[in-house]
Amino acid sequence: MEKKAELYRGKAKSVYATEDADRLVLHFRNDTSAFDGEKVEQLDRKGMVNNKFNHFIMTKLEEAGIPTQMDSLLSDDEALVKKLDMIPVECVVRNVAAGSICRRLGVEEGKDLTPPTFEFFLKNDALHDPMVNEYHIQSFGWATEDQVSKMKELTFRVNDVLKALFDEAGLILVDYKLEFGVFKGEIVLGDEFTPDGCRLWDKETRDKLDKDRFRQGLGGVVEAYEAVAARLGVTLD
C-alpha cells in the first residue's frame, strides 16, 4: 500500500493517506512526550516496539471478537489501518488506583478497584483532556447514546481479554485508555494499545513497566516496553 500525504502528526504517531480512501498508514515514531507535550524526548527503537506491540494486542482483541482498525503490519514502525471517523472521547478503565484518580480523589496508589472504574475524557490538549460524562458527549454531539453504550461495552470486553492476557504474563493491567471511531456505521477500536497508553506493573514487585517510567524519570523506558513484549510473546526482531 503506497503511503501518500501526511494527514495528521500527533505527539508520537503520524497518519498518512493511501490510494485507498478507506485505509491509512499509521507511523509510530520514536518521539515520547508527557504532560501535554511539555516533556519530549526521542527514544531509540520505541516506534518499532510500539508498532509491533500494538499489532499483537489488536490481533488478540480481533480474535476475541472485538472490532479494531488494524489491518496489517507494513514495516517495523508502520501499520495499515482502517480509516475511522474518530470520536473525540477517551474511555478509561482503572483496575487499580494510580495516576490522576489518586490526585483527584486522594486515593492511595495501588488500591484494587472492585468493580473497575470507568471514566470519559474529552480529547483536547489545550483543555488538558477534561473529564466528561455521557450527557456532555450526547449534548455536544460527540457521539450518540447508542455509540456511547457500545464504547462502554467494548471497553469492558477489552478489559476482560487483556487482564487475563497480562496476568498470564505476570503483569497487572492497572489502567488504560481507548479511543473509538466509526467505520461503515460500526463502532471500531482505533488509535493504539501500547505501554504509552496504559499502566502495567509487575505482579510480584509492582515495578512500573509503562510510560510512567518516562513521566517519573525512572529511566529504562524502551527496555521496560521490550520486557513486557517478551513476556507476552511479541516478536520484535
* Angle, in degrees to the nearest 10, between helices 46-63 and 145-168: 110
Task: Indicate the domain borders of the chain.
Answer: 3-82, 87-219
State the pLDDT confidence band at 33, using cuts at 50, 70 and 90.
Answer: confident
Angle 123-31-208 (CA atoms, 0-180°, nearest 5)? 80
Question: Quick one: what percent of the chain has pLDDT higher than 70?
Answer: 99
Residue range 99-134, pLDDT digits in tens: 999 999 999 999 999 999 999 999 998 999 999 999
Given a cut of 90, whether residue 58 has pLDDT beyond it is yes
Given a cut of 80, whether residue 38 has pLDDT beyond it is no
| Higher local confidence (pLDDT), 11 or 78 | 78
Mean pLDDT of 208-214: 96
Residue range 151-178, pLDDT digits in tens: 999 999 999 999 999 999 999 999 999 9
For residue 56, report the phi and psi dihedrals to the nearest 5 degrees. Answer: -60, -50
Q: What is the DSSP string of 154-220?
A: HHHHHHHHHHHHHHHTTEEEEEEEEEEEEETTEEEEES--STTSEEEEETTT--B-STHHHHTT---
| Structural contact between residues 179 and 84, judged by C-beta atoms closer than 8 angstroms | no
Terminal-residue alpha carbon distance, the chain: 22
For residue 48, report the phi and psi dihedrals to the nearest 5 degrees. Answer: -65, -45
State the pLDDT confidence band at 37, using cuts at 50, 70 and 90.
Answer: low
Q: Rounded to whole angstroms, how far apart are CA atoms 216 and 213?
A: 5
Q: Which CATH number fits domain 87-219: 3.40.720.10, 2.70.210.12, 3.40.50.720, 3.30.470.20?
A: 3.30.470.20
What is the residue-averaged pLDDT of the chain?
96
What is 3-82's CATH superfamily? Answer: Phosphorylase Kinase; domain 1 (3.30.200.20)
Residue range 70-96, pLDDT digits in tens: 999 999 999 999 999 999 999 999 999
Mean pLDDT of 182-188: 98
With CA atoms as reference, report the closest residue to 31 among 13, 52, 54, 7.
13
CB neighbour list of residue 103: distance below 8 Å, 6 or more residues apart = none
CB neighbour list of residue 84: distance below 8 Å, 6 or more residues apart = 69, 180, 181, 182, 183, 188, 190
Block residue for cell numbers 478497584: 113
Given a cut of 80, whether residue 36 has pLDDT beyond it is no
Q: Rounded to whole angstroms, how far apart are CA atoms 228 and 150?
A: 29
Mean pLDDT of 7-29: 96
Query: String of b and e for 178-204 (b: at least 16 CB within 10 Å)?
Result: bbbbbbeeebbbbbbbbbbbbbbbbee
Q: 150: part of which helix (H) or strand (E)?
A: helix 145-168
State the pLDDT confidence band at 34, using cuts at 50, 70 and 90.
Answer: confident
pLDDT for position 2: 82
Which SS3 state, helix, strand or coil, does residue 27 take?
strand
Given a cut of 80, whether residue 185 has pLDDT beyond it is yes
Q: Is the pTM of this model over 0.85?
A: yes
CB neighbour list of residue 164: distance below 8 Å, 6 or more residues apart = none
